[in-house]
Structure 1
Amino acid sequence: MNDRRLLLVHAHPDDETIGTGATMAKYAAEGAHVTLVTCTLGEEGEVIPPELARLAADRDDTLGGHRIGELAAACKALGVTDHRFLGAPGRWRDSGMMGVASNHRANAFWQADQDEAAGELVKVIREVRPQVLVTYDENGFYGHPDHIQAHRVSLRAFDLAADPGFGEGEPWRIAKFYLTALPRSVMRRSAEAMREAGIGFLPEESVDDLPFGCADRDVTTEIDARAYVGAKLEAMRAHATQISVDAPWFALSNGIGQEALGVEHFILRAGVPGPAGPGAPVEAGGIGEPYDRENDLFAGIG
Protein backbone atom coordinates (compact mmCIF):
# COMPACT_ATOMS: atom_id res chain seq x y z
CA MET A 1 0.00 0.00 0.00
CA ASN A 2 1.90 3.04 -1.27
CA ASP A 3 -0.61 5.79 -0.48
CA ARG A 4 0.05 5.67 3.27
CA ARG A 5 0.81 9.10 4.68
CA LEU A 6 2.22 9.62 8.16
CA LEU A 7 2.65 13.02 9.86
CA LEU A 8 4.75 13.43 13.01
CA VAL A 9 4.93 16.60 15.11
CA HIS A 10 8.00 17.04 17.31
CA ALA A 11 9.17 19.93 19.46
CA HIS A 12 12.91 20.19 18.69
CA PRO A 13 15.47 18.70 16.34
CA ASP A 14 16.57 15.28 17.76
CA ASP A 15 13.18 14.50 19.37
CA GLU A 16 12.05 12.81 16.16
CA THR A 17 15.01 10.44 16.19
CA ILE A 18 15.03 9.57 19.89
CA GLY A 19 11.32 8.80 20.17
CA THR A 20 10.21 7.72 16.71
CA GLY A 21 13.31 7.36 14.54
CA ALA A 22 13.05 3.63 13.92
CA THR A 23 9.34 3.89 13.09
CA MET A 24 9.98 6.77 10.68
CA ALA A 25 12.76 4.84 8.94
CA LYS A 26 10.61 1.72 8.67
CA TYR A 27 7.64 3.44 7.07
CA ALA A 28 9.83 5.54 4.77
CA ALA A 29 11.64 2.40 3.58
CA GLU A 30 8.30 0.71 2.95
CA GLY A 31 7.18 3.54 0.66
CA ALA A 32 4.93 5.54 2.96
CA HIS A 33 5.03 9.33 2.70
CA VAL A 34 6.53 10.44 6.02
CA THR A 35 6.21 14.12 6.92
CA LEU A 36 8.01 15.60 9.92
CA VAL A 37 6.98 18.96 11.40
CA THR A 38 9.40 20.41 13.97
CA CYS A 39 8.06 23.23 16.12
CA THR A 40 11.30 25.04 17.08
CA LEU A 41 15.00 25.08 16.22
CA GLY A 42 16.03 23.88 19.69
CA GLU A 43 17.93 27.08 20.44
CA GLU A 44 18.05 26.47 24.19
CA GLY A 45 19.65 23.02 24.02
CA GLU A 46 22.80 22.24 25.99
CA VAL A 47 25.80 21.65 23.73
CA ILE A 48 27.83 18.50 24.34
CA PRO A 49 31.02 18.91 22.21
CA PRO A 50 33.33 21.46 23.86
CA GLU A 51 34.48 22.74 20.47
CA LEU A 52 30.89 23.78 19.70
CA ALA A 53 30.10 25.33 23.09
CA ARG A 54 30.15 28.82 21.57
CA LEU A 55 26.87 28.02 19.78
CA ALA A 56 24.89 27.97 23.03
CA ALA A 57 22.14 30.46 23.85
CA ASP A 58 24.23 32.13 26.56
CA ARG A 59 27.14 32.71 24.15
CA ASP A 60 26.76 33.26 20.37
CA ASP A 61 23.14 32.04 20.37
CA THR A 62 23.60 30.37 16.98
CA LEU A 63 22.68 26.84 17.98
CA GLY A 64 19.31 26.94 16.21
CA GLY A 65 20.85 27.55 12.81
CA HIS A 66 23.39 24.78 13.41
CA ARG A 67 20.66 22.34 14.38
CA ILE A 68 18.86 22.91 11.08
CA GLY A 69 21.80 21.17 9.44
CA GLU A 70 21.85 18.41 12.03
CA LEU A 71 18.16 17.74 11.46
CA ALA A 72 18.61 17.62 7.69
CA ALA A 73 21.35 15.01 8.11
CA ALA A 74 19.21 13.01 10.54
CA CYS A 75 16.26 13.00 8.16
CA LYS A 76 18.53 11.79 5.37
CA ALA A 77 19.67 8.91 7.58
CA LEU A 78 16.05 8.01 8.32
CA GLY A 79 15.02 8.25 4.67
CA VAL A 80 12.60 11.12 5.38
CA THR A 81 12.45 13.64 2.54
CA ASP A 82 9.52 15.80 3.66
CA HIS A 83 10.45 17.97 6.63
CA ARG A 84 9.05 21.36 7.60
CA PHE A 85 9.39 23.75 10.54
CA LEU A 86 6.06 24.88 11.96
CA GLY A 87 5.22 28.22 10.35
CA ALA A 88 8.80 28.75 9.18
CA PRO A 89 12.29 28.09 10.59
CA GLY A 90 12.52 30.08 13.82
CA ARG A 91 8.88 31.20 13.80
CA TRP A 92 8.68 30.00 17.40
CA ARG A 93 11.69 29.68 19.66
CA ASP A 94 12.66 26.85 21.98
CA SER A 95 11.18 27.68 25.39
CA GLY A 96 13.77 25.87 27.48
CA MET A 97 12.94 23.64 30.42
CA MET A 98 9.86 24.33 32.51
CA GLY A 99 10.24 27.23 34.94
CA VAL A 100 13.22 29.00 33.35
CA ALA A 101 13.29 32.60 32.13
CA SER A 102 13.23 31.64 28.44
CA ASN A 103 9.68 30.32 28.92
CA HIS A 104 8.55 33.95 28.96
CA ARG A 105 10.08 35.18 25.71
CA ALA A 106 7.41 36.66 23.46
CA ASN A 107 8.35 34.27 20.65
CA ALA A 108 8.75 31.18 22.85
CA PHE A 109 6.67 28.25 21.65
CA TRP A 110 5.23 27.97 25.14
CA GLN A 111 3.72 31.44 24.62
CA ALA A 112 2.35 30.70 21.14
CA ASP A 113 -1.32 31.32 20.45
CA GLN A 114 -2.60 27.78 20.06
CA ASP A 115 -5.06 28.56 17.27
CA GLU A 116 -2.37 30.41 15.34
CA ALA A 117 0.12 27.57 15.71
CA ALA A 118 -2.57 24.98 14.98
CA GLY A 119 -3.51 26.96 11.88
CA GLU A 120 0.01 26.55 10.56
CA LEU A 121 -0.20 22.81 11.19
CA VAL A 122 -3.61 22.64 9.51
CA LYS A 123 -1.99 24.01 6.34
CA VAL A 124 0.40 21.05 6.33
CA ILE A 125 -2.36 18.55 7.12
CA ARG A 126 -4.57 19.78 4.29
CA GLU A 127 -1.65 19.68 1.88
CA VAL A 128 -0.26 16.28 2.85
CA ARG A 129 -3.60 14.66 3.83
CA PRO A 130 -2.14 12.13 6.28
CA GLN A 131 -4.17 9.21 7.56
CA VAL A 132 -2.07 9.11 10.75
CA LEU A 133 -0.82 11.85 13.09
CA VAL A 134 1.75 11.24 15.86
CA THR A 135 2.88 13.52 18.69
CA TYR A 136 3.45 13.43 22.47
CA ASP A 137 1.01 12.79 25.30
CA GLU A 138 -0.57 15.51 27.46
CA ASN A 139 2.57 15.75 29.62
CA GLY A 140 4.83 16.09 26.61
CA PHE A 141 6.36 12.75 27.71
CA TYR A 142 8.51 14.37 30.42
CA GLY A 143 7.01 17.78 31.06
CA HIS A 144 8.98 20.00 28.70
CA PRO A 145 6.79 23.03 27.83
CA ASP A 146 7.43 22.73 24.09
CA HIS A 147 6.45 19.07 24.12
CA ILE A 148 3.27 19.89 26.00
CA GLN A 149 2.53 22.67 23.54
CA ALA A 150 3.20 20.35 20.59
CA HIS A 151 0.56 18.02 22.00
CA ARG A 152 -1.96 20.83 22.46
CA VAL A 153 -1.33 22.32 19.02
CA SER A 154 -1.53 18.90 17.34
CA LEU A 155 -4.79 18.06 19.10
CA ARG A 156 -6.28 21.41 18.09
CA ALA A 157 -5.12 20.99 14.49
CA PHE A 158 -6.54 17.46 14.40
CA ASP A 159 -9.98 18.99 15.00
CA LEU A 160 -9.58 22.15 12.94
CA ALA A 161 -8.29 20.39 9.83
CA ALA A 162 -11.67 18.67 9.45
CA ASP A 163 -13.66 21.87 10.01
CA PRO A 164 -14.84 23.35 6.68
CA GLY A 165 -15.34 26.69 8.43
CA PHE A 166 -11.68 27.06 9.40
CA GLY A 167 -8.98 28.51 7.19
CA GLU A 168 -8.28 27.76 3.56
CA GLY A 169 -7.98 24.52 1.68
CA GLU A 170 -10.11 21.42 1.53
CA PRO A 171 -10.96 19.96 4.95
CA TRP A 172 -9.25 16.71 5.87
CA ARG A 173 -10.12 14.27 8.63
CA ILE A 174 -7.19 12.29 10.01
CA ALA A 175 -8.16 8.68 10.68
CA LYS A 176 -5.87 7.95 13.63
CA PHE A 177 -4.12 10.18 16.18
CA TYR A 178 -1.34 8.58 18.24
CA LEU A 179 0.70 9.61 21.27
CA THR A 180 4.24 8.35 21.75
CA ALA A 181 4.71 6.02 24.73
CA LEU A 182 7.42 4.26 26.70
CA PRO A 183 6.14 1.26 28.68
CA ARG A 184 7.68 0.82 32.11
CA SER A 185 8.47 -2.83 31.36
CA VAL A 186 10.70 -1.61 28.52
CA MET A 187 12.35 0.87 30.86
CA ARG A 188 13.07 -1.92 33.36
CA ARG A 189 14.56 -4.19 30.71
CA SER A 190 16.72 -1.37 29.39
CA ALA A 191 17.92 -0.54 32.90
CA GLU A 192 18.87 -4.16 33.49
CA ALA A 193 20.64 -4.46 30.12
CA MET A 194 22.63 -1.31 30.78
CA ARG A 195 23.55 -2.43 34.28
CA GLU A 196 24.84 -5.71 32.86
CA ALA A 197 26.84 -3.77 30.26
CA GLY A 198 28.30 -1.49 32.92
CA ILE A 199 26.58 1.59 31.49
CA GLY A 200 25.35 4.23 33.92
CA PHE A 201 21.57 4.27 34.15
CA LEU A 202 18.80 4.66 36.68
CA PRO A 203 18.37 1.72 39.04
CA GLU A 204 15.67 -0.69 37.91
CA GLU A 205 13.69 -0.24 41.12
CA SER A 206 13.35 3.52 40.49
CA VAL A 207 11.48 3.18 37.19
CA ASP A 208 8.01 3.40 38.76
CA ASP A 209 8.98 6.63 40.50
CA LEU A 210 10.05 8.46 37.33
CA PRO A 211 7.81 11.25 35.98
CA PHE A 212 7.57 9.58 32.57
CA GLY A 213 6.79 6.16 31.19
CA CYS A 214 3.41 4.48 31.09
CA ALA A 215 1.70 1.30 32.18
CA ASP A 216 1.97 -1.51 29.65
CA ARG A 217 -1.79 -1.91 29.59
CA ASP A 218 -2.13 1.64 28.19
CA VAL A 219 -0.09 0.89 25.08
CA THR A 220 -2.22 0.14 22.03
CA THR A 221 0.41 -0.12 19.32
CA GLU A 222 3.87 -1.64 19.06
CA ILE A 223 6.03 -1.07 15.98
CA ASP A 224 8.80 -3.59 15.48
CA ALA A 225 11.42 -1.58 13.60
CA ARG A 226 14.51 -3.37 14.90
CA ALA A 227 15.75 -3.70 11.32
CA TYR A 228 16.10 0.10 11.28
CA VAL A 229 18.05 0.66 14.50
CA GLY A 230 21.16 1.30 12.40
CA ALA A 231 19.40 4.19 10.66
CA LYS A 232 18.21 5.50 14.02
CA LEU A 233 21.74 5.44 15.43
CA GLU A 234 23.09 7.18 12.32
CA ALA A 235 20.45 9.88 12.78
CA MET A 236 21.42 10.21 16.45
CA ARG A 237 25.04 10.77 15.43
CA ALA A 238 23.86 13.54 13.12
CA HIS A 239 22.52 15.38 16.19
CA ALA A 240 26.06 15.71 17.52
CA THR A 241 25.44 18.81 19.64
CA GLN A 242 22.77 16.98 21.64
CA ILE A 243 23.51 13.24 21.59
CA SER A 244 26.55 11.08 22.34
CA VAL A 245 26.36 7.60 20.82
CA ASP A 246 28.12 4.41 21.90
CA ALA A 247 25.96 1.86 20.07
CA PRO A 248 23.57 0.48 21.11
CA TRP A 249 23.56 3.13 23.86
CA PHE A 250 23.27 6.89 23.75
CA ALA A 251 23.20 9.79 26.20
CA LEU A 252 22.05 13.39 26.21
CA SER A 253 23.90 16.22 27.93
CA ASN A 254 23.04 14.80 31.37
CA GLY A 255 25.29 11.81 30.61
CA ILE A 256 22.64 9.27 31.64
CA GLY A 257 22.77 6.25 29.37
CA GLN A 258 19.77 5.09 27.40
CA GLU A 259 19.15 2.28 24.93
CA ALA A 260 18.40 3.08 21.29
CA LEU A 261 15.17 1.14 20.98
CA GLY A 262 14.13 -0.53 17.75
CA VAL A 263 10.64 -1.32 19.02
CA GLU A 264 8.66 1.87 19.55
CA HIS A 265 5.32 2.21 21.29
CA PHE A 266 2.23 4.37 20.88
CA ILE A 267 -1.18 5.03 22.40
CA LEU A 268 -4.15 5.55 20.08
CA ARG A 269 -5.68 8.88 21.19
CA ALA A 270 -8.42 9.12 18.55
CA GLY A 271 -9.68 6.86 15.80
CA VAL A 272 -10.71 3.23 15.52
CA PRO A 273 -8.10 0.64 16.52
CA GLY A 274 -7.15 -1.93 13.95
CA PRO A 275 -6.79 -5.66 14.61
CA ALA A 276 -4.03 -6.80 16.92
CA GLY A 277 -1.01 -8.33 15.28
CA PRO A 278 1.99 -10.33 16.44
CA GLY A 279 4.28 -8.21 18.56
CA ALA A 280 8.02 -8.22 19.01
CA PRO A 281 8.96 -10.92 21.56
CA VAL A 282 11.69 -8.86 23.23
CA GLU A 283 9.26 -6.01 23.90
CA ALA A 284 6.13 -8.02 24.72
CA GLY A 285 3.93 -7.34 27.71
CA GLY A 286 6.53 -8.09 30.36
CA ILE A 287 5.02 -10.63 32.72
CA GLY A 288 2.76 -13.37 31.44
CA GLU A 289 1.08 -13.19 28.05
CA PRO A 290 1.83 -10.30 25.66
CA TYR A 291 -0.79 -7.60 25.43
CA ASP A 292 -2.95 -7.46 22.30
CA ARG A 293 -1.56 -4.55 20.31
CA GLU A 294 -1.67 -3.22 16.79
CA ASN A 295 1.62 -3.73 14.99
CA ASP A 296 0.95 -1.10 12.32
CA LEU A 297 0.01 2.56 12.72
CA PHE A 298 -2.20 2.18 9.65
CA ALA A 299 -3.99 -0.92 10.96
CA GLY A 300 -7.67 -0.89 10.09
CA ILE A 301 -7.42 2.01 7.64
CA GLY A 302 -8.99 1.05 4.32
Structure 2
Amino acid sequence: MTRRLLLVHAHPDDESITTGGTMAAYAASGAEVTLVTCTLGEEGEIIPRGLDQLGSWAADQLGGYRAGELALALRSLGVTFHYFLGGIGRWRDSGMAGTPAAGHPRAFAGGSLAEQAAQLAEIVEQRRPEVIVTYDSSGGYGHPDHIRAHEITMAAARTVASVRRVFHIASGGGAVPTPDGPAGTVIDIRAQLPAKIAALRAHATQITVNPPMFALSNGVPQRIAETERYFLAHGPVAGSETDLFGGLEFD
Protein backbone atom coordinates (compact mmCIF):
# COMPACT_ATOMS: atom_id res chain seq x y z
CA MET A 1 0.00 0.00 0.00
CA THR A 2 1.29 3.48 -0.87
CA ARG A 3 2.15 5.68 2.07
CA ARG A 4 0.66 9.16 1.81
CA LEU A 5 2.15 12.33 3.29
CA LEU A 6 0.52 15.77 3.09
CA LEU A 7 2.17 19.05 4.10
CA VAL A 8 0.46 22.39 4.70
CA HIS A 9 2.53 25.55 4.20
CA ALA A 10 1.65 29.22 4.22
CA HIS A 11 3.72 30.64 1.35
CA PRO A 12 5.86 29.45 -1.55
CA ASP A 13 9.42 28.72 -0.29
CA ASP A 14 8.30 27.64 3.20
CA GLU A 15 8.10 24.06 1.97
CA SER A 16 11.66 24.02 0.63
CA ILE A 17 13.25 25.77 3.60
CA THR A 18 11.75 23.67 6.38
CA THR A 19 10.63 20.38 4.81
CA GLY A 20 12.26 20.14 1.38
CA GLY A 21 14.53 17.25 2.24
CA THR A 22 11.70 15.30 3.85
CA MET A 23 9.47 15.78 0.83
CA ALA A 24 12.25 14.64 -1.51
CA ALA A 25 13.09 11.63 0.65
CA TYR A 26 9.55 10.30 0.81
CA ALA A 27 8.87 11.03 -2.86
CA ALA A 28 12.01 9.11 -3.80
CA SER A 29 10.90 6.17 -1.62
CA GLY A 30 7.64 5.86 -3.55
CA ALA A 31 5.37 7.60 -1.06
CA GLU A 32 2.67 9.93 -2.37
CA VAL A 33 3.65 13.43 -1.24
CA THR A 34 1.14 16.28 -1.46
CA LEU A 35 1.78 19.95 -0.76
CA VAL A 36 -0.95 22.46 0.07
CA THR A 37 0.14 26.10 -0.20
CA CYS A 38 -2.21 28.60 1.41
CA THR A 39 -1.17 31.84 -0.33
CA LEU A 40 1.00 33.10 -3.19
CA GLY A 41 3.35 35.04 -0.91
CA GLU A 42 2.43 38.37 -2.47
CA GLU A 43 3.95 40.39 0.38
CA GLY A 44 7.41 38.86 0.21
CA GLU A 45 10.48 41.04 -0.06
CA ILE A 46 12.39 40.69 -3.33
CA ILE A 47 16.14 40.03 -3.51
CA PRO A 48 16.99 40.52 -7.24
CA ARG A 49 16.94 44.22 -8.02
CA GLY A 50 15.70 43.62 -11.54
CA LEU A 51 12.51 42.09 -10.19
CA ASP A 52 11.69 44.58 -7.45
CA GLN A 53 8.79 46.13 -9.38
CA LEU A 54 6.87 42.86 -9.09
CA GLY A 55 6.19 43.72 -5.45
CA SER A 56 2.87 44.60 -3.87
CA TRP A 57 4.08 48.21 -3.64
CA ALA A 58 4.39 48.39 -7.46
CA ALA A 59 2.94 46.03 -10.11
CA ASP A 60 1.69 43.56 -7.48
CA GLN A 61 2.63 40.59 -9.67
CA LEU A 62 4.93 38.81 -7.23
CA GLY A 63 2.36 36.14 -6.36
CA GLY A 64 2.12 34.85 -9.89
CA TYR A 65 5.89 34.89 -10.25
CA ARG A 66 6.33 32.95 -7.03
CA ALA A 67 3.82 30.33 -8.22
CA GLY A 68 6.25 29.65 -11.07
CA GLU A 69 9.16 29.43 -8.64
CA LEU A 70 7.20 26.95 -6.53
CA ALA A 71 6.43 24.74 -9.52
CA LEU A 72 10.14 24.59 -10.32
CA ALA A 73 11.01 23.79 -6.70
CA LEU A 74 8.51 20.93 -6.58
CA ARG A 75 9.98 19.42 -9.73
CA SER A 76 13.37 19.48 -8.03
CA LEU A 77 11.91 17.69 -5.01
CA GLY A 78 10.05 15.09 -7.07
CA VAL A 79 6.64 16.20 -5.77
CA THR A 80 3.78 15.99 -8.25
CA PHE A 81 0.67 16.64 -6.13
CA HIS A 82 0.15 20.31 -5.31
CA TYR A 83 -2.84 22.45 -4.38
CA PHE A 84 -3.37 26.11 -3.61
CA LEU A 85 -5.92 26.34 -0.80
CA GLY A 86 -9.27 27.30 -2.31
CA GLY A 87 -7.65 27.56 -5.75
CA ILE A 88 -4.79 29.76 -6.89
CA GLY A 89 -5.17 33.32 -5.63
CA ARG A 90 -8.13 32.67 -3.31
CA TRP A 91 -6.18 33.64 -0.20
CA ARG A 92 -3.57 36.39 -0.09
CA ASP A 93 -0.40 36.74 1.94
CA SER A 94 -1.43 38.64 5.09
CA GLY A 95 1.99 40.10 5.85
CA MET A 96 2.97 40.54 9.47
CA ALA A 97 0.44 41.61 12.08
CA GLY A 98 -0.28 45.33 12.00
CA THR A 99 0.79 45.90 8.40
CA PRO A 100 -1.65 47.21 5.75
CA ALA A 101 -1.63 43.81 4.04
CA ALA A 102 -3.39 42.31 7.05
CA GLY A 103 -6.49 44.33 6.16
CA HIS A 104 -6.77 43.08 2.59
CA PRO A 105 -10.20 41.46 1.97
CA ARG A 106 -8.52 38.22 0.85
CA ALA A 107 -5.88 38.17 3.59
CA PHE A 108 -5.48 34.56 4.66
CA ALA A 109 -5.19 35.25 8.39
CA GLY A 110 -8.31 37.42 8.32
CA GLY A 111 -10.46 34.99 6.36
CA SER A 112 -13.04 32.54 7.61
CA LEU A 113 -11.31 29.77 9.52
CA ALA A 114 -14.32 27.51 8.94
CA GLU A 115 -14.22 28.08 5.18
CA GLN A 116 -10.47 27.51 5.02
CA ALA A 117 -10.61 24.37 7.15
CA ALA A 118 -13.36 23.01 4.90
CA GLN A 119 -11.26 23.73 1.82
CA LEU A 120 -8.32 21.89 3.35
CA ALA A 121 -10.51 19.01 4.53
CA GLU A 122 -11.71 18.55 0.95
CA ILE A 123 -8.11 18.13 -0.23
CA VAL A 124 -7.27 15.82 2.66
CA GLU A 125 -10.35 13.71 1.88
CA GLN A 126 -9.25 13.46 -1.74
CA ARG A 127 -5.61 12.55 -1.06
CA ARG A 128 -6.29 10.58 2.15
CA PRO A 129 -2.86 10.94 3.81
CA GLU A 130 -1.93 8.95 6.88
CA VAL A 131 0.48 11.68 8.03
CA ILE A 132 0.14 15.47 7.87
CA VAL A 133 2.89 18.00 8.59
CA THR A 134 2.47 21.69 9.40
CA TYR A 135 3.62 24.36 11.87
CA ASP A 136 3.07 24.46 15.61
CA SER A 137 0.67 26.93 17.25
CA SER A 138 3.28 29.70 17.13
CA GLY A 139 3.64 29.32 13.39
CA GLY A 140 7.35 28.79 13.88
CA TYR A 141 8.13 32.49 14.13
CA GLY A 142 4.77 34.14 14.71
CA HIS A 143 3.70 34.95 11.15
CA PRO A 144 -0.13 35.19 11.13
CA ASP A 145 -0.39 33.04 8.00
CA HIS A 146 1.68 30.28 9.59
CA ILE A 147 -0.51 30.37 12.67
CA ARG A 148 -3.64 30.17 10.55
CA ALA A 149 -2.16 27.26 8.57
CA HIS A 150 -1.68 25.46 11.89
CA GLU A 151 -5.25 26.19 12.96
CA ILE A 152 -6.92 24.95 9.80
CA THR A 153 -4.70 21.87 9.63
CA MET A 154 -5.58 20.78 13.14
CA ALA A 155 -9.27 21.40 12.42
CA ALA A 156 -9.25 19.55 9.10
CA ALA A 157 -7.22 16.59 10.38
CA ARG A 158 -9.91 15.78 12.90
CA THR A 159 -12.52 15.32 10.18
CA VAL A 160 -10.81 12.77 7.92
CA ALA A 161 -10.47 9.20 9.16
CA SER A 162 -7.36 8.41 7.10
CA VAL A 163 -5.21 10.82 9.12
CA ARG A 164 -3.28 8.85 11.71
CA ARG A 165 -0.68 11.40 12.78
CA VAL A 166 -0.05 15.13 12.64
CA PHE A 167 3.49 16.40 13.09
CA HIS A 168 4.64 19.94 13.77
CA ILE A 169 7.82 21.28 12.24
CA ALA A 170 10.43 21.88 14.93
CA SER A 171 11.07 25.63 14.86
CA GLY A 172 14.58 26.58 13.86
CA GLY A 173 15.50 22.95 13.29
CA GLY A 174 14.47 22.05 16.82
CA ALA A 175 16.23 20.20 19.58
CA VAL A 176 16.65 16.46 19.63
CA PRO A 177 13.51 15.04 21.28
CA THR A 178 13.90 14.06 24.91
CA PRO A 179 12.07 11.44 26.97
CA ASP A 180 10.30 14.19 28.91
CA GLY A 181 9.32 16.22 25.84
CA PRO A 182 6.96 15.58 22.93
CA ALA A 183 7.68 12.55 20.79
CA GLY A 184 9.84 13.53 17.85
CA THR A 185 11.14 12.31 14.53
CA VAL A 186 14.40 13.33 12.89
CA ILE A 187 14.69 12.81 9.13
CA ASP A 188 18.21 12.40 7.76
CA ILE A 189 18.22 14.34 4.47
CA ARG A 190 21.90 14.11 3.51
CA ALA A 191 21.05 12.10 0.41
CA GLN A 192 18.44 14.70 -0.56
CA LEU A 193 20.61 17.80 -0.11
CA PRO A 194 21.14 18.28 -3.87
CA ALA A 195 17.37 18.24 -4.40
CA LYS A 196 16.77 20.60 -1.48
CA ILE A 197 19.45 23.01 -2.67
CA ALA A 198 17.92 23.03 -6.16
CA ALA A 199 14.50 23.75 -4.64
CA LEU A 200 15.89 26.60 -2.56
CA ARG A 201 17.53 28.07 -5.66
CA ALA A 202 14.19 27.91 -7.49
CA HIS A 203 12.85 30.51 -5.04
CA ALA A 204 15.27 33.13 -6.34
CA THR A 205 13.13 36.14 -5.41
CA GLN A 206 13.29 35.10 -1.77
CA ILE A 207 16.48 33.09 -1.20
CA THR A 208 20.17 33.36 -1.98
CA VAL A 209 21.97 30.01 -1.92
CA ASN A 210 25.70 29.47 -1.39
CA PRO A 211 26.03 25.89 -0.07
CA PRO A 212 26.27 24.97 2.68
CA MET A 213 24.54 28.27 3.51
CA PHE A 214 21.47 30.15 2.36
CA ALA A 215 20.05 33.55 3.22
CA LEU A 216 16.69 35.26 3.06
CA SER A 217 16.19 38.92 2.15
CA ASN A 218 17.76 40.01 5.45
CA GLY A 219 21.07 38.60 4.21
CA VAL A 220 21.72 36.63 7.39
CA PRO A 221 23.46 33.32 6.50
CA GLN A 222 21.81 30.11 7.69
CA ARG A 223 23.24 26.62 7.37
CA ILE A 224 21.39 24.12 5.23
CA ALA A 225 20.87 21.43 7.84
CA GLU A 226 21.40 17.73 7.20
CA THR A 227 18.29 16.81 9.19
CA GLU A 228 14.71 18.03 9.40
CA ARG A 229 12.94 17.63 12.74
CA TYR A 230 9.32 17.17 13.75
CA PHE A 231 7.30 16.80 16.92
CA LEU A 232 4.20 14.64 17.19
CA ALA A 233 1.05 16.69 17.72
CA HIS A 234 -1.67 14.09 17.21
CA GLY A 235 -1.88 10.33 16.93
CA PRO A 236 0.04 7.29 18.17
CA VAL A 237 3.71 7.65 19.05
CA ALA A 238 5.88 6.61 16.13
CA GLY A 239 7.56 3.24 16.25
CA SER A 240 10.65 4.89 14.79
CA GLU A 241 12.46 8.13 15.55
CA THR A 242 13.54 8.37 11.91
CA ASP A 243 10.30 7.71 10.02
CA LEU A 244 7.08 9.74 10.15
CA PHE A 245 5.15 6.57 9.30
CA GLY A 246 7.00 4.37 11.81
CA GLY A 247 4.80 1.80 13.51
CA LEU A 248 1.69 2.48 11.42
CA GLU A 249 -0.05 -0.59 10.03
CA PHE A 250 -1.12 -0.64 6.39
CA ASP A 251 -3.68 -2.93 4.85
| TM-score, normalised relative to structure 1 | 0.79
Aligned residue among 275, 290, 297 for 2:239:
275
- Which runs of structure 1 show a deviation greater than 2 angstroms over 4 or more consecutive aligned residues? 213-219
Q: Distance in 2 between matches of 1:40 and 1:10?
A: 9
User: Residue 226 of structure 1: CA displacement?
Assistant: 1.1
- Contact 2:168–2:233 at 8 Å: present in 1 too? yes
Moved more, 152-161 or 70-79: 152-161
User: Are residue 145 (structure 1) and residue 92 (structure 2) matched?
Assistant: no
2:201 is matched with 237
Corresponding position of 2:248: 301
Q: Does 2:166 match 1:181?
A: no
Task: Say which SS state the counterpart of residue 125 (structure 1) adopts.
Answer: helix
Rounded Cα–Cα distance in structure 2 between residues aligned with 1:126 and 1:155? 14
What do the CA deviations read for 1:119-146 (whole angstroms, capped 9, x no partner)? 0111111111100000000000000000
Aligned to 1:128: 127
Alpha-carbon separation, structure 2, partners of 1:91 and 1:79: 26
Aligned to 1:10: 9
Identity of aligned residues (%): 51
Q: CA offset at residue 173 of structure 1?
A: 3.5
| Mapped contact 2:168–2:232 kept (Cα < 8 A) | yes
Structure 2: how far apart are the matches of 1:274 and 1:29?
21
**Superposed displacement of residue 182, structure 1:** 3.8
Cα distance, 1:112 vs structure 2:
1.4
CA-CA distance at 1:100 after TM superposition:
1.0
Is the Cα contact below 8 Å between 2:141 and 2:171 reproduced in 1? no
Contact 1:92/1:109 (8 A) holds in 2: yes
C-alpha distance in 1 between matches for 2:97 and 2:217: 17
Question: C-alpha offsets along residues 49-88 of structure 1, whole Å, 9 cap, x if unaligned?
Answer: 0000010110100000001100000000000000110010
What CA deviation, in whole Å up to 9, does each residue of 1:6-49 have, x standing for no partner?
Answer: 00000000000000000000000000000000000000000000
Where do 1:1-302 residues align within 5 Å? 3-161=2-160, 172-182=161-171, 216-217=177-178, 218=181, 220-276=184-240, 294-302=241-249
Paired residue secondary structure (1:160): coil
Give the deviation of 1:220 after TM superposition. 0.9
**TM-score, length basis structure 2:** 0.95
- What do residues 153-180 of structure 1 show as CA deviations (whole Å, max 9, x unaligned)? 101101133xxxxxxxxxx330000000
In structure 2, distance between residues paired with 1:153 and 1:232? 27
Give secondary structure in 1 for the equivalent of 2:187: strand
Which amino acid in 2 is paired with 1:46? E
Which runs of 5 or more residues in structure 1 are unaligned? 162-171, 187-212, 277-293
Structure index of larger Rg: 1
1:165-198 CA distance string (max 9 Å, x none):
xxxxxxx330000000046xx6xxxxxxxxxxxx
Instruction: Name structure 2 gaps, 5 residues minimum.
Output: none
- Deviation larger for 93-102 or 10-19: 93-102
The structure-2 alpha-carbon separation of the partners of 1:72 and 1:242, relative to structure 1 and needing over 3 Å to count, comes to: same
Q: Residue 214 of structure 1: CA displacement?
A: 5.7
Cα contact 1:35–1:83 (8 A) shared by 2: yes
Kept in 2, the 8 Å contact 1:98–1:143? The answer is no
